[in-house]
């Protein structure tokens, strides 16, 4: 059974490993310390200031909805982390 947000996190790990700055890789960069503690294979190199970079990327695409999209992505990350903690 997949955890909430698992596909997004897996995509972010792959993008981060390839050095691609994407919404998923920035989200994984934000959650990297906690995700590593949960045993996920997070690359050592993450993006600097991922919170700011994620917000700017969202704002570039849709300025009117960037704040709510940012908050929704952070909620998905936290939901995944909580589900992973419960599963371990």
Rounded distance between C-alpha atoms, residue 16 and residue 10, angstroms: 10
Rounded distance between C-alpha atoms, residue 35 and residue 1, angstroms: 19
pLDDT band per the 50, 70, 90 thresholds, residue 87: confident
For 14-67, the pLDDT digits (tens) are 999 999 999 999 999 999 999 999 999 999 999 999 999 999 999 999 999 999
Pull the structure tokens for residue 37.
């503690």
How much is the pTM? 0.93
Pull the structure tokens for residue 43.
């690359």
Q: Is the pLDDT of residue 5 over 80?
A: yes
Rounded distance between C-alpha atoms, residue 70 and residue 64, angstroms: 12
Alpha helix stretches (DSSP H) within 18-62: 23-37, 50-61
């Amino acid at each position: 059974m997949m955890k909430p947000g698992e596909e997004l996190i897996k995509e972010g790990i792959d993008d981060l490993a390839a050095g691609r700055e994407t919404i998923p890789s920035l989200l994984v960069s934000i959650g990297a310390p906690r995700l590593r503690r949960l045993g996920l294979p997070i690359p050592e190199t993450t993006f600097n200031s991922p919170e700011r970079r994620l917000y700017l990327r969202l704002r570039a695409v849709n300025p009117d909805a960037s704040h709510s999209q940012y908050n929704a992505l952070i909620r998905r990350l936290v939901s995944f982390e909580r589900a992973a903690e419960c599963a371990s």
